[in-house]
Amino acid sequence: MRFMIALALSLLMISPAQAWGPVGHRITGAIADQNLSGLARANIRLLLGEEDLAEAATWPDDMRSDPSAFWQKTASPWHYVTVKGDDYQTSDAPPEGDAMTALSRFTATLRDPKMSIDDKRLALRFIVHIIGDLHQPLHAGGGSDRGGNDVKVSWFGKSTNLHAVWDSALIDARSLSYSEYAAWLSRSITPEQVVVWNDVNPATWIHESVALRKTVYPENPGLSYDYAYQHRGEVDDRLKQAGVRIAAYLNWIFGSSPDVAKPLKHK
């Protein structure tokens, strides 16, 4: 019995925080795949080939191990925003940019028929990833604790931080693969929710994340079943909303940009 308990706890150990963990990002990509328009799906296939959005969603995190200056410095701030009030202000963005400025830049790239296929592929992968990030409440941090990274907690007795709990631990505690989790969540998304969540304004997503962020800081740093029970529904909702909105955003980009599907040239 003790062995089984130790094994269960070891499965909940948390890797260094980045964004939603790989399972969370793949869930949002898989849900997005199910909500794409035919036109968006065709354009994405032109750019990614057999790679689906679940795979694309983790790519910007996977590339963080690349030693180049682009991945180690330039792209590093593009996974989060700082929101000191209730809503994002452009004045909150640092000189090196943030998730909002990067999303705007990559959207322009994807809509520009003159850009190369390599630039568009990079932009698409980042857009999928950034939209997922902006639905994680601690990726809209208040600027005082690095999005909960400085808030030390324990998760079922293992030392970690609050950001990592939201990135991965709450999701991994379900003990589901990303495809199982995505299928489970997709079955619960109603047509009414798709209509309501079909909002391509990132300010809306950030406002929601900030409101949720204010409720996730625990009074007791020892987190286990009670904390998981209290917040797992919120995690599920943010994953579902992110998936629906990734699709809505890409449907909007490709649906309003008739030139985007013109033949593309490699650099």
| pLDDT range class, residue 256, cuts 50, 70, 90 | confident
How many of the other CB atoms lie within 10 Å of CB of 49?
Answer: 9
Q: How far apart are CA 42 and CA 152, in angstroms?
A: 45
What are the pLDDT digits (tens) for 75-114? 999 999 999 999 999 888 899 999 999 999 999 999 999 9
**Mean per-residue pLDDT for 243-251?**
98
Residue of 142, 151, 181, 188 lying closest to 20 (CA atoms) = 181
Q: In whole angstroms, what is the distance from residue 246 CA to residue 265 CA? A: 25
Q: How confident is the model at residue 16 (pLDDT cuts 50, 70, 90)?
A: very low
Report how far Cα 118 is from the mean position of its chain's Cα atoms: 22
Per-residue confidence (pLDDT) for residue 92, from 0 to 100: 84
- Share the mean pLDDT of the chain: 90
Share of the chain above pLDDT 70, in %: 89
User: pLDDT tens digit string along 187-203?
Assistant: 999 999 999 999 999 99
Q: Is 205 exposed, middle or buried (0-12, 13-18, 19+ CB in 10 A)?
A: buried
Strand stretches in the chain, DSSP E: 81-82, 140-141, 152-155, 158-161, 222-223
Q: Give the C-alpha distances (Å, rounded to integers) separating 178 from 8, 16, 175, 215.
A: 18, 19, 9, 26
If one compares 70 and 19, the residue with the highest pLDDT of the two is 70
Phi first, then psi: give them for residue 158, nearest 5 degrees.
-100, 130
Residues in the chain: 267
Secondary structure in 3-state letters for 220-235: CCEECHHHHHHHHHHH
pLDDT at 5: 36
Is residue 123 predicted with pLDDT exceeding 50?
A: yes
pLDDT at 245: 98
Instruction: Give 19's pLDDT tier (boundaries 50, 70, 90).
Output: low
pTM to 2 decimals?
0.89
Q: 48, 47, 80, 42: which is closest to 61 by C-alpha?
A: 80
Angle between helical axes of 99-111 and 202-213 (0-180°, round to 10):
160
> Domains of the chain (ranges plus CATH)?
18-261 (1.10.575.10)
